[in-house]
Structure 1
Amino acid sequence: MTTTTAPDTAPPAAQAARAVLRAEARLFRREPGALFWIVAFPSLLVTVLGLIPGFREPDASLGGLRVIDLYVPVAVLLSIVVAGVQTLPAVLTGYRERGILRRLSVTPVDPKALIGAQLVLHGVAVLAAIVLALAVGRIAFGVPLPGQPFGYALAVVLTALAGTASGGTIAALSRTSKAAQTIGTVAFFPAMFSAGVYLPVQTMPDTLRQVVELTPFGAASQALHDTAGGGWPQWWQLLVIALWAGVLWAAAVRWFRWE
Protein backbone atom coordinates (compact mmCIF):
# COMPACT_ATOMS: atom_id res chain seq x y z
CA MET A 1 0.00 0.00 0.00
CA THR A 2 1.41 3.35 -0.95
CA THR A 3 0.62 6.80 0.32
CA THR A 4 0.67 10.02 -1.62
CA THR A 5 1.48 13.46 -0.41
CA ALA A 6 -0.82 16.27 -1.40
CA PRO A 7 0.93 18.85 -3.55
CA ASP A 8 1.74 22.17 -1.96
CA THR A 9 -0.76 24.60 -3.48
CA ALA A 10 0.52 27.64 -1.59
CA PRO A 11 1.79 30.58 -3.64
CA PRO A 12 5.49 30.35 -4.62
CA ALA A 13 6.37 33.22 -2.28
CA ALA A 14 4.80 31.41 0.69
CA GLN A 15 6.58 28.17 -0.23
CA ALA A 16 9.89 30.04 -0.43
CA ALA A 17 9.26 31.71 2.94
CA ARG A 18 8.60 28.34 4.57
CA ALA A 19 11.76 26.91 3.05
CA VAL A 20 13.76 29.83 4.39
CA LEU A 21 12.22 29.38 7.84
CA ARG A 22 13.12 25.68 7.90
CA ALA A 23 16.68 26.39 6.80
CA GLU A 24 17.12 29.18 9.34
CA ALA A 25 15.69 26.96 12.08
CA ARG A 26 18.35 24.34 11.36
CA LEU A 27 21.07 26.99 11.53
CA PHE A 28 19.61 28.49 14.70
CA ARG A 29 19.70 25.11 16.45
CA ARG A 30 23.41 24.95 15.69
CA GLU A 31 24.08 28.11 17.72
CA PRO A 32 24.28 26.77 21.29
CA GLY A 33 25.67 30.03 22.59
CA ALA A 34 22.67 32.07 21.45
CA LEU A 35 20.23 29.44 22.70
CA PHE A 36 21.95 29.32 26.09
CA TRP A 37 21.87 33.08 26.65
CA ILE A 38 18.31 33.52 25.40
CA VAL A 39 16.62 30.40 26.75
CA ALA A 40 18.67 28.96 29.61
CA PHE A 41 20.51 31.85 31.23
CA PRO A 42 17.44 33.74 32.55
CA SER A 43 16.23 30.60 34.36
CA LEU A 44 19.75 29.93 35.60
CA LEU A 45 19.76 33.44 37.10
CA VAL A 46 16.44 32.71 38.83
CA THR A 47 17.88 29.45 40.19
CA VAL A 48 21.06 31.04 41.55
CA LEU A 49 19.17 33.89 43.21
CA GLY A 50 16.52 31.54 44.54
CA LEU A 51 19.17 29.52 46.34
CA ILE A 52 20.05 32.56 48.47
CA PRO A 53 18.07 32.04 51.70
CA GLY A 54 17.36 35.73 52.27
CA PHE A 55 15.81 36.07 48.81
CA ARG A 56 13.19 33.45 49.74
CA GLU A 57 12.01 35.33 52.84
CA PRO A 58 9.03 37.73 52.70
CA ASP A 59 10.09 41.37 52.95
CA ALA A 60 7.76 43.90 54.56
CA SER A 61 9.30 46.71 52.50
CA LEU A 62 8.22 44.82 49.35
CA GLY A 63 4.64 44.44 50.52
CA GLY A 64 5.23 40.94 51.78
CA LEU A 65 6.79 39.75 48.53
CA ARG A 66 10.13 37.99 48.32
CA VAL A 67 13.06 39.14 46.24
CA ILE A 68 12.81 35.98 44.15
CA ASP A 69 9.20 36.93 43.33
CA LEU A 70 10.51 40.11 41.71
CA TYR A 71 13.19 38.35 39.70
CA VAL A 72 11.01 36.00 37.67
CA PRO A 73 9.60 38.94 35.60
CA VAL A 74 13.16 40.24 35.37
CA ALA A 75 14.24 36.90 33.87
CA VAL A 76 11.45 37.23 31.29
CA LEU A 77 12.73 40.67 30.30
CA LEU A 78 16.32 39.47 30.25
CA SER A 79 15.55 36.89 27.55
CA ILE A 80 13.97 39.64 25.42
CA VAL A 81 16.95 41.95 25.97
CA VAL A 82 19.46 39.27 24.98
CA ALA A 83 17.51 38.26 21.86
CA GLY A 84 16.74 41.79 20.72
CA VAL A 85 19.89 43.69 21.59
CA GLN A 86 22.62 41.05 21.40
CA THR A 87 21.90 38.18 19.01
CA LEU A 88 19.44 39.51 16.42
CA PRO A 89 21.51 42.54 15.27
CA ALA A 90 24.62 40.42 14.77
CA VAL A 91 22.72 37.89 12.64
CA LEU A 92 21.05 40.50 10.42
CA THR A 93 24.21 42.53 9.96
CA GLY A 94 26.21 39.39 9.21
CA TYR A 95 23.81 38.40 6.44
CA ARG A 96 24.02 41.86 4.91
CA GLU A 97 27.82 42.05 5.29
CA ARG A 98 28.28 38.70 3.51
CA GLY A 99 26.01 39.80 0.67
CA ILE A 100 23.34 37.22 1.40
CA LEU A 101 20.50 39.76 1.41
CA ARG A 102 21.71 41.23 -1.88
CA ARG A 103 21.95 37.81 -3.55
CA LEU A 104 18.47 36.87 -2.37
CA SER A 105 17.07 39.96 -4.07
CA VAL A 106 17.77 38.38 -7.49
CA THR A 107 16.11 35.07 -6.57
CA PRO A 108 12.42 34.17 -6.05
CA VAL A 109 13.06 34.48 -2.29
CA ASP A 110 12.27 37.92 -0.87
CA PRO A 111 15.10 39.06 1.46
CA LYS A 112 12.36 40.10 3.90
CA ALA A 113 11.53 36.40 4.30
CA LEU A 114 14.97 35.87 5.84
CA ILE A 115 14.47 38.71 8.31
CA GLY A 116 10.97 37.45 9.08
CA ALA A 117 12.34 33.98 9.76
CA GLN A 118 14.85 35.39 12.22
CA LEU A 119 12.14 37.35 14.00
CA VAL A 120 9.99 34.22 14.27
CA LEU A 121 12.86 32.06 15.55
CA HIS A 122 13.94 34.61 18.13
CA GLY A 123 10.32 34.98 19.20
CA VAL A 124 10.00 31.23 19.69
CA ALA A 125 13.23 31.17 21.69
CA VAL A 126 11.97 33.99 23.92
CA LEU A 127 8.67 32.16 24.43
CA ALA A 128 10.55 29.04 25.49
CA ALA A 129 12.63 31.14 27.90
CA ILE A 130 9.49 32.66 29.43
CA VAL A 131 7.82 29.28 29.94
CA LEU A 132 11.02 27.88 31.47
CA ALA A 133 11.50 30.85 33.81
CA LEU A 134 7.90 30.71 35.02
CA ALA A 135 8.17 26.94 35.53
CA VAL A 136 11.45 27.15 37.46
CA GLY A 137 10.12 29.97 39.63
CA ARG A 138 6.91 28.10 40.38
CA ILE A 139 8.24 24.58 40.87
CA ALA A 140 11.55 25.32 42.57
CA PHE A 141 10.71 28.39 44.65
CA GLY A 142 6.93 28.65 44.84
CA VAL A 143 6.67 31.87 42.83
CA PRO A 144 2.99 32.31 41.87
CA LEU A 145 2.11 32.24 38.20
CA PRO A 146 0.90 35.56 36.75
CA GLY A 147 -2.40 36.49 38.36
CA GLN A 148 -3.54 38.30 35.21
CA PRO A 149 -2.25 36.12 32.36
CA PHE A 150 -3.87 38.13 29.56
CA GLY A 151 -2.38 41.41 30.77
CA TYR A 152 0.95 39.64 31.32
CA ALA A 153 0.89 38.27 27.75
CA LEU A 154 0.00 41.71 26.35
CA ALA A 155 2.93 43.32 28.16
CA VAL A 156 5.27 40.55 26.96
CA VAL A 157 4.18 40.91 23.32
CA LEU A 158 4.62 44.70 23.33
CA THR A 159 8.00 44.37 25.02
CA ALA A 160 9.11 41.75 22.50
CA LEU A 161 8.16 44.17 19.70
CA ALA A 162 10.24 46.89 21.37
CA GLY A 163 13.14 44.47 21.86
CA THR A 164 13.21 43.31 18.25
CA ALA A 165 12.81 46.92 17.12
CA SER A 166 15.93 47.74 19.15
CA GLY A 167 17.77 44.96 17.35
CA GLY A 168 16.54 46.16 13.98
CA THR A 169 17.71 49.70 14.72
CA ILE A 170 21.14 48.48 15.82
CA ALA A 171 21.43 46.42 12.63
CA ALA A 172 20.37 49.43 10.57
CA LEU A 173 23.02 51.66 12.16
CA SER A 174 25.83 49.08 11.94
CA ARG A 175 27.83 48.61 8.75
CA THR A 176 29.57 45.44 9.96
CA SER A 177 28.94 42.56 12.34
CA LYS A 178 31.71 43.83 14.61
CA ALA A 179 30.04 47.23 14.81
CA ALA A 180 26.70 45.57 15.59
CA GLN A 181 28.27 43.57 18.41
CA THR A 182 29.90 46.70 19.81
CA ILE A 183 26.74 48.81 19.68
CA GLY A 184 24.72 45.90 21.03
CA THR A 185 27.08 45.48 23.97
CA VAL A 186 26.93 49.21 24.74
CA ALA A 187 23.12 49.07 24.70
CA PHE A 188 22.95 45.76 26.56
CA PHE A 189 24.04 46.93 29.99
CA PRO A 190 21.70 49.96 30.26
CA ALA A 191 18.88 47.72 29.02
CA MET A 192 19.64 45.16 31.72
CA PHE A 193 19.71 47.91 34.35
CA SER A 194 16.35 49.33 33.25
CA ALA A 195 14.89 45.80 33.23
CA GLY A 196 15.90 45.42 36.87
CA VAL A 197 18.63 42.79 36.52
CA TYR A 198 21.02 44.60 38.86
CA LEU A 199 18.33 46.06 41.10
CA PRO A 200 14.59 45.37 40.71
CA VAL A 201 12.79 48.47 39.49
CA GLN A 202 10.33 48.21 42.38
CA THR A 203 13.16 48.68 44.91
CA MET A 204 14.78 51.68 43.22
CA PRO A 205 14.60 55.16 44.79
CA ASP A 206 11.55 57.08 43.61
CA THR A 207 13.33 59.51 41.30
CA LEU A 208 15.44 56.82 39.67
CA ARG A 209 12.41 54.56 39.27
CA GLN A 210 10.42 57.32 37.56
CA VAL A 211 13.26 57.84 35.07
CA VAL A 212 13.70 54.12 34.43
CA GLU A 213 9.96 53.73 33.86
CA LEU A 214 10.29 56.00 30.82
CA THR A 215 12.39 53.32 29.10
CA PRO A 216 10.69 50.36 27.37
CA PHE A 217 12.13 47.73 29.68
CA GLY A 218 11.56 49.81 32.81
CA ALA A 219 7.90 50.32 31.92
CA ALA A 220 7.68 46.62 31.04
CA SER A 221 9.13 45.66 34.42
CA GLN A 222 6.38 47.56 36.19
CA ALA A 223 3.71 46.16 33.85
CA LEU A 224 4.83 42.57 34.47
CA HIS A 225 5.00 43.23 38.20
CA ASP A 226 1.44 44.57 38.23
CA THR A 227 0.03 41.71 36.15
CA ALA A 228 1.95 39.10 38.14
CA GLY A 229 0.04 40.36 41.18
CA GLY A 230 -3.32 39.99 39.44
CA GLY A 231 -3.92 43.52 38.14
CA TRP A 232 -3.93 44.97 34.65
CA PRO A 233 -0.92 46.99 33.48
CA GLN A 234 -1.49 50.72 33.70
CA TRP A 235 -2.25 52.41 30.40
CA TRP A 236 0.82 54.64 30.54
CA GLN A 237 3.11 51.61 30.91
CA LEU A 238 1.74 50.06 27.73
CA LEU A 239 1.87 53.44 25.99
CA VAL A 240 5.57 53.91 26.84
CA ILE A 241 6.43 50.44 25.53
CA ALA A 242 4.33 50.90 22.38
CA LEU A 243 5.81 54.33 21.63
CA TRP A 244 9.35 52.97 21.92
CA ALA A 245 8.46 50.04 19.68
CA GLY A 246 6.91 52.33 17.07
CA VAL A 247 9.79 54.83 17.03
CA LEU A 248 12.47 52.14 16.90
CA TRP A 249 10.72 50.15 14.17
CA ALA A 250 10.31 53.35 12.13
CA ALA A 251 14.03 54.07 12.55
CA ALA A 252 14.96 50.50 11.60
CA VAL A 253 12.85 50.59 8.44
CA ARG A 254 14.10 54.07 7.53
CA TRP A 255 17.82 53.37 7.86
CA PHE A 256 18.16 49.67 7.12
CA ARG A 257 20.15 48.89 3.99
CA TRP A 258 20.00 45.60 2.15
CA GLU A 259 23.62 45.83 0.99
Structure 2
Amino acid sequence: MSTATTTPTSRRTNGATAAVVRTEATLFARELGSLFWILLFPTLLLAVIGLVPDFQEANPSLGGQRIIDLYVSVVVVLAMIMAAIVAMPPVIAGYRESGVLRRLRTTPMHPAALLGAQVGLHAVAVLASVVLALATARVLYDVALPGHLGWYAVALVLGTASAFSIGAVITAVSASTRVVQTVGTIVFFPMMFTSGVWMPVQTMEGWLRQTVVSTPLGAASEALNDALQGTAPALVDLAVMGGWTVVLGFVAVRLFRWE
Protein backbone atom coordinates (compact mmCIF):
# COMPACT_ATOMS: atom_id res chain seq x y z
CA MET A 1 0.00 0.00 0.00
CA SER A 2 2.75 2.43 0.95
CA THR A 3 4.63 1.72 -2.30
CA ALA A 4 1.58 2.52 -4.39
CA THR A 5 1.06 5.72 -2.43
CA THR A 6 4.62 7.05 -2.53
CA THR A 7 5.63 6.10 -6.06
CA PRO A 8 3.54 8.76 -7.88
CA THR A 9 4.85 11.42 -5.51
CA SER A 10 8.40 10.25 -6.06
CA ARG A 11 7.92 10.33 -9.81
CA ARG A 12 6.52 13.86 -9.68
CA THR A 13 9.45 14.97 -7.56
CA ASN A 14 11.99 13.38 -9.88
CA GLY A 15 10.26 14.90 -12.89
CA ALA A 16 10.28 18.34 -11.28
CA THR A 17 13.94 17.99 -10.38
CA ALA A 18 14.85 16.96 -13.92
CA ALA A 19 12.92 19.95 -15.28
CA VAL A 20 14.80 22.30 -12.96
CA VAL A 21 18.14 20.85 -14.01
CA ARG A 22 17.27 21.32 -17.68
CA THR A 23 16.13 24.88 -17.05
CA GLU A 24 19.20 25.76 -15.04
CA ALA A 25 21.45 24.24 -17.71
CA THR A 26 19.76 26.37 -20.38
CA LEU A 27 20.12 29.53 -18.30
CA PHE A 28 23.72 28.72 -17.46
CA ALA A 29 24.58 28.22 -21.13
CA ARG A 30 23.34 31.77 -21.78
CA GLU A 31 25.69 33.24 -19.17
CA LEU A 32 28.47 33.97 -21.63
CA GLY A 33 30.37 36.10 -19.13
CA SER A 34 30.52 33.30 -16.55
CA LEU A 35 31.45 30.76 -19.20
CA PHE A 36 34.29 32.98 -20.40
CA TRP A 37 35.79 33.46 -16.93
CA ILE A 38 35.49 29.78 -16.00
CA LEU A 39 36.26 28.06 -19.30
CA LEU A 40 38.51 30.38 -21.28
CA PHE A 41 40.20 32.91 -18.98
CA PRO A 42 42.39 30.41 -17.07
CA THR A 43 43.67 28.88 -20.31
CA LEU A 44 44.26 32.28 -21.91
CA LEU A 45 46.23 33.34 -18.83
CA LEU A 46 48.31 30.18 -19.08
CA ALA A 47 49.00 30.80 -22.78
CA VAL A 48 50.15 34.38 -22.09
CA ILE A 49 52.35 33.41 -19.12
CA GLY A 50 54.04 30.77 -21.23
CA LEU A 51 55.24 33.45 -23.67
CA VAL A 52 57.82 34.61 -21.11
CA PRO A 53 61.04 32.85 -22.25
CA ASP A 54 62.44 32.35 -18.74
CA PHE A 55 59.27 30.55 -17.69
CA GLN A 56 60.06 27.76 -20.16
CA GLU A 57 63.50 27.08 -18.68
CA ALA A 58 63.99 24.22 -16.21
CA ASN A 59 64.73 25.48 -12.71
CA PRO A 60 67.00 23.30 -10.51
CA SER A 61 65.60 24.89 -7.36
CA LEU A 62 62.14 23.65 -8.36
CA GLY A 63 63.29 20.08 -8.92
CA GLY A 64 63.79 20.66 -12.62
CA GLN A 65 60.28 21.97 -13.19
CA ARG A 66 59.62 25.07 -15.22
CA ILE A 67 57.50 27.99 -14.07
CA ILE A 68 55.01 27.19 -16.83
CA ASP A 69 54.68 23.68 -15.40
CA LEU A 70 53.70 25.15 -12.04
CA TYR A 71 51.14 27.47 -13.58
CA VAL A 72 49.15 24.59 -15.02
CA SER A 73 47.95 23.72 -11.51
CA VAL A 74 47.50 27.39 -10.68
CA VAL A 75 45.09 28.03 -13.56
CA VAL A 76 43.13 24.90 -12.65
CA VAL A 77 42.59 26.34 -9.17
CA LEU A 78 41.77 29.68 -10.78
CA ALA A 79 38.93 28.01 -12.68
CA MET A 80 37.59 26.75 -9.34
CA ILE A 81 37.70 30.28 -7.93
CA MET A 82 35.90 31.75 -10.92
CA ALA A 83 33.10 29.19 -10.69
CA ALA A 84 32.69 28.99 -6.91
CA ILE A 85 33.32 32.61 -5.89
CA VAL A 86 32.60 34.81 -8.91
CA ALA A 87 29.92 33.01 -10.91
CA MET A 88 27.69 30.90 -8.66
CA PRO A 89 27.01 32.93 -5.46
CA PRO A 90 25.31 35.88 -7.26
CA VAL A 91 22.95 33.45 -9.01
CA ILE A 92 21.83 31.80 -5.78
CA ALA A 93 21.62 35.14 -3.98
CA GLY A 94 19.45 36.42 -6.81
CA TYR A 95 17.10 33.45 -6.45
CA ARG A 96 16.79 34.12 -2.73
CA GLU A 97 16.31 37.86 -3.20
CA SER A 98 13.60 37.41 -5.85
CA GLY A 99 11.72 34.83 -3.77
CA VAL A 100 12.38 31.87 -6.06
CA LEU A 101 13.70 29.68 -3.24
CA ARG A 102 10.76 30.57 -1.03
CA ARG A 103 8.22 29.67 -3.73
CA LEU A 104 9.95 26.38 -4.49
CA ARG A 105 9.39 25.25 -0.92
CA THR A 106 5.65 25.00 -1.69
CA THR A 107 6.25 22.65 -4.65
CA PRO A 108 7.23 18.95 -4.79
CA MET A 109 10.76 20.02 -5.73
CA HIS A 110 12.84 21.12 -2.75
CA PRO A 111 15.02 24.23 -3.24
CA ALA A 112 18.06 22.08 -2.48
CA ALA A 113 17.61 20.48 -5.91
CA LEU A 114 18.06 23.88 -7.53
CA LEU A 115 21.17 24.52 -5.46
CA GLY A 116 22.50 21.09 -6.36
CA ALA A 117 21.88 21.79 -10.04
CA GLN A 118 23.85 25.03 -9.78
CA VAL A 119 26.79 23.34 -8.06
CA GLY A 120 26.75 20.49 -10.56
CA LEU A 121 26.67 22.76 -13.61
CA HIS A 122 29.49 24.96 -12.33
CA ALA A 123 31.54 21.90 -11.38
CA VAL A 124 31.14 20.54 -14.92
CA ALA A 125 32.34 23.89 -16.25
CA VAL A 126 35.42 23.61 -14.01
CA LEU A 127 36.10 20.13 -15.34
CA ALA A 128 35.86 21.37 -18.93
CA SER A 129 38.24 24.20 -18.07
CA VAL A 130 40.72 21.71 -16.59
CA VAL A 131 40.68 19.59 -19.75
CA LEU A 132 41.17 22.68 -21.92
CA ALA A 133 44.05 23.97 -19.79
CA LEU A 134 45.84 20.61 -19.73
CA ALA A 135 45.46 20.18 -23.48
CA THR A 136 46.68 23.72 -24.20
CA ALA A 137 49.68 23.32 -21.90
CA ARG A 138 50.57 20.06 -23.58
CA VAL A 139 50.26 21.39 -27.14
CA LEU A 140 51.85 24.83 -26.67
CA TYR A 141 54.48 24.22 -24.01
CA ASP A 142 55.01 20.46 -23.90
CA VAL A 143 53.78 20.19 -20.32
CA ALA A 144 53.32 16.55 -19.34
CA LEU A 145 49.81 15.32 -18.69
CA PRO A 146 49.04 14.22 -15.10
CA GLY A 147 51.47 11.44 -14.25
CA HIS A 148 49.13 9.98 -11.65
CA LEU A 149 45.58 10.37 -12.94
CA GLY A 150 43.95 8.81 -9.88
CA TRP A 151 45.58 11.17 -7.41
CA TYR A 152 45.00 14.07 -9.78
CA ALA A 153 41.27 13.29 -9.74
CA VAL A 154 41.29 13.12 -5.93
CA ALA A 155 43.06 16.48 -5.64
CA LEU A 156 40.71 17.99 -8.22
CA VAL A 157 37.59 16.82 -6.40
CA LEU A 158 38.82 17.98 -2.98
CA GLY A 159 40.03 21.31 -4.37
CA THR A 160 36.73 21.94 -6.13
CA ALA A 161 34.75 20.97 -3.03
CA SER A 162 36.78 23.32 -0.83
CA ALA A 163 36.35 26.19 -3.29
CA PHE A 164 32.58 25.66 -3.44
CA SER A 165 32.41 25.49 0.36
CA ILE A 166 33.93 28.98 0.47
CA GLY A 167 31.39 30.15 -2.10
CA ALA A 168 28.61 28.57 -0.03
CA VAL A 169 29.63 30.55 3.05
CA ILE A 170 29.74 33.78 1.02
CA THR A 171 26.24 33.05 -0.25
CA ALA A 172 24.97 32.15 3.21
CA VAL A 173 26.14 35.32 4.95
CA SER A 174 25.13 37.74 2.17
CA ALA A 175 21.61 39.14 2.29
CA SER A 176 21.43 40.34 -1.32
CA THR A 177 23.09 40.07 -4.70
CA ARG A 178 24.92 43.35 -4.15
CA VAL A 179 26.32 42.15 -0.83
CA VAL A 180 27.38 38.77 -2.25
CA GLN A 181 29.24 40.52 -5.06
CA THR A 182 30.97 42.83 -2.59
CA VAL A 183 31.98 40.02 -0.25
CA GLY A 184 33.05 37.89 -3.20
CA THR A 185 35.30 40.67 -4.49
CA ILE A 186 36.90 41.09 -1.06
CA VAL A 187 37.61 37.37 -0.82
CA PHE A 188 38.63 37.00 -4.48
CA PHE A 189 42.05 38.67 -4.36
CA PRO A 190 43.41 36.86 -1.28
CA MET A 191 42.27 33.60 -2.87
CA MET A 192 44.11 34.51 -6.06
CA PHE A 193 47.27 34.95 -3.99
CA THR A 194 46.93 31.73 -2.01
CA SER A 195 46.25 29.74 -5.18
CA GLY A 196 49.56 31.00 -6.61
CA VAL A 197 48.37 33.34 -9.38
CA TRP A 198 50.76 36.11 -8.35
CA MET A 199 53.53 33.71 -7.32
CA PRO A 200 53.35 29.90 -7.59
CA VAL A 201 53.17 28.27 -4.17
CA GLN A 202 56.28 26.18 -4.91
CA THR A 203 58.38 29.34 -5.27
CA MET A 204 57.37 30.66 -1.84
CA GLU A 205 59.58 30.07 1.18
CA GLY A 206 59.47 30.03 4.96
CA TRP A 207 56.46 31.22 6.90
CA LEU A 208 54.76 32.54 3.77
CA ARG A 209 54.63 29.11 2.17
CA GLN A 210 53.55 27.46 5.41
CA THR A 211 50.71 29.94 5.73
CA VAL A 212 49.59 29.57 2.12
CA VAL A 213 49.56 25.75 2.10
CA SER A 214 47.38 25.81 5.22
CA THR A 215 44.64 27.40 3.11
CA PRO A 216 42.41 25.14 0.97
CA LEU A 217 43.46 26.58 -2.39
CA GLY A 218 47.15 26.70 -1.53
CA ALA A 219 46.94 23.03 -0.58
CA ALA A 220 45.02 22.34 -3.81
CA SER A 221 47.73 23.95 -5.90
CA GLU A 222 50.37 21.82 -4.16
CA ALA A 223 48.41 18.58 -4.46
CA LEU A 224 47.55 19.11 -8.12
CA ASN A 225 51.17 19.86 -8.96
CA ASP A 226 52.36 16.73 -7.15
CA ALA A 227 49.89 14.57 -9.07
CA LEU A 228 50.87 16.29 -12.31
CA GLN A 229 54.44 15.17 -11.68
CA GLY A 230 53.29 11.61 -11.05
CA THR A 231 53.69 11.51 -7.27
CA ALA A 232 51.05 11.09 -4.58
CA PRO A 233 50.04 14.40 -2.98
CA ALA A 234 51.10 14.92 0.61
CA LEU A 235 48.43 13.67 2.99
CA VAL A 236 48.55 16.95 4.86
CA ASP A 237 47.48 18.81 1.70
CA LEU A 238 44.55 16.44 1.20
CA ALA A 239 43.64 16.78 4.87
CA VAL A 240 43.73 20.58 4.65
CA MET A 241 41.32 20.59 1.70
CA GLY A 242 39.03 18.02 3.27
CA GLY A 243 39.05 19.72 6.67
CA TRP A 244 38.24 23.15 5.27
CA THR A 245 35.44 21.65 3.16
CA VAL A 246 33.80 20.01 6.17
CA VAL A 247 34.11 23.05 8.44
CA LEU A 248 32.99 25.61 5.87
CA GLY A 249 30.22 23.34 4.61
CA PHE A 250 28.89 23.05 8.17
CA VAL A 251 29.04 26.84 8.62
CA ALA A 252 27.25 27.42 5.31
CA VAL A 253 24.45 25.00 6.20
CA ARG A 254 23.99 26.58 9.64
CA LEU A 255 23.87 30.14 8.29
CA PHE A 256 22.01 29.58 5.02
CA ARG A 257 18.55 31.10 4.69
CA TRP A 258 16.05 30.24 1.97
CA GLU A 259 14.56 33.74 2.11
Q: TM-score, normalised by structure 1?
A: 0.95
Give the Cα separation in 2 of the matches to 1:9 and 1:156: 37
What's the offset of the Cα at 1:228? 1.0
For the pair 1:134 / 2:102, whether they are aligned, the reply is no
Q: Aligned letter for 2:69?
A: D
Give the Cα separation in 1 of the matches to 2:171 and 2:50: 36
Q: Aligned letter for 2:242?
A: A
For the pair 1:33 / 2:33, whether they are aligned, the reply is yes
What's the offset of the Cα at 1:61? 2.1
The DSSP-based 3-state class of the residue aligned with 1:11 is: helix
Give the Cα separation in 2 of the matches to 1:131 and 1:225: 15
Q: What per-residue deviation string (whole Å, max 9, x for no partner) do you get for residues 23-77 of structure 1? A: 0011001111100001100000110011121111112222221110000000100
Q: What per-residue deviation string (whole Å, max 9, x for no partner) do you get for residues 197-253 of structure 1? A: 000000012210011010000111111111111111111111110010001110111
Q: Aligned letter for 2:39?
A: V
Give the Cα separation in 1 of the matches to 2:16 and 2:142: 45
Q: Aligned letter for 2:108?
A: P
Aligned to 1:118: 118
Aligned to 2:87: 87
Give the Cα separation in 2 of the matches to 1:132 and 1:10: 38
Aligned to 1:236: 236
List aligned pairs for 1:73-222, cutoff 5 A: 73-222=73-222
The DSSP-based 3-state class of the residue aligned with 2:109 is: coil
Q: Give percent identity, aligned residues only.
A: 51
Stretches of structure 2 lacking an aligned partner (at least 5 in a row): 1-7
Give the Cα separation in 2 of the matches to 1:26 and 1:9: 26
Q: Aligned letter for 2:234?
A: Q
Stretches of structure 1 lacking an aligned partner (at least 5 in a row): 1-7
Distance 1:58 1:257, change over 3 A: same
- Aligned-CA RMSD value: 1.3
Give the Cα separation in 1 of the matches to 2:127 and 2:10: 28
What's the offset of the Cα at 1:177? 0.3
Give the Cα separation in 2 of the matches to 1:9 and 1:142: 54
What's the offset of the Cα at 1:109? 1.9
What's the offset of the Cα at 1:108? 2.0
Aligned to 1:45: 45
Q: Aligned letter for 1:228?
A: L
Give the Cα separation in 2 of the matches to 1:72 and 1:56: 12
Q: What per-residue deviation string (whole Å, max 9, x for no partner) do you get for residues 121-144 of structure 1? A: 001100000000000000111000
Give the Cα separation in 1 of the matches to 2:163 and 2:247: 12
Structure with the higher fraction of residues in helix conformation: 2
Give the Cα separation in 1 of the matches to 2:117 and 2:174: 20
What's the offset of the Cα at 1:10? 7.1
Structure 1 stretches of at least 4 aligned residues deviating more than 3 Å after TM superposition: none
